[in-house]
Amino acid sequence: MRACLSFSISYRQVEEVLRSGGKSYFAEVAAAAAKLTAMEDSAVVEVLLSGGRVLKASSWDVPGSAVAEVAKAVAELYRAYAPEPYVLFVGPGRYAKLVAVEERTGVMELTRVRSLVKDVVVVPQLPEDAALVVSTSPAVVDLAVGVDVETTYLGPDEAGHNFLLRETFAVRLKNPEGVVVLRQ
């Protein structure tokens, strides 16, 4: 996968930093880095969603359903001898459901789920009808970087200084048995 995007810093911003002698912070650079990260996350999600064992999931609106479904996914990983630790990846909507306190127990669903997995990670690129329970072992999945994040100066134009931010990488799913997709 090749992730590539361009951004520009205005002449006015550069002149202001030079004139003030202050530290530079350019929002355009931070925004470009965030976009590149999102592109990388999208690639990882795409590979994981297409490669793992699929189990039926509910909407997690019913108290305890998230815990039961994650427990079932973890059991599948154990049956497949997928090495620990396991991580649950969810979209923002499903995460919001996990922070609800279950009236019967007085405990957040998130707390109960964390007793099953090492961590819960929110990934905005993950569709709301899916969640992933993944063995984080390099024997299951890894990210091979070809060209690490690199910034190239493209030169000036009438608006400012132009740059290219790029990275090449491959998401390698080595053992699909180490990934469980919970799909609604």
Q: Taking the model in full, what pTM does it have?
A: 0.84
Asked if the model's pLDDT at residue 82 lies above 90, the reply is yes
pLDDT reported for residue 145: 83
| pLDDT > 90? residue 3 | no
- How large a percentage of the chain has pLDDT more than 70? 99
- Give the distance from CA 169 to its chain's centroid: 15
Burial class (CB in 10 A: 0-12, 13-18, 19+), 27: exposed
Number of domains making up the chain: 1
Half-sphere exposure of 126 (CA within 13 A, CB side): 25
Q: Which structural domain range is residue 74 located in?
A: 2-183
Name the pLDDT band for 87 (thresholds 50, 70, 90). Answer: very high
Residue 173 is part of a domain; what is its CATH number? Answer: 3.30.2320.10
pLDDT in tens, 131-161: 999 999 999 998 888 878 889 999 999 989 9
SS3 assignment, position 97: helix
Contact 77, 133 (CB under 8 A): yes
Q: Which helix (H) or strand (E) holds 173?
A: strand 160-173
Would you state the pLDDT for residue 143? 84
**141 DSSP β-pair partners:** 173
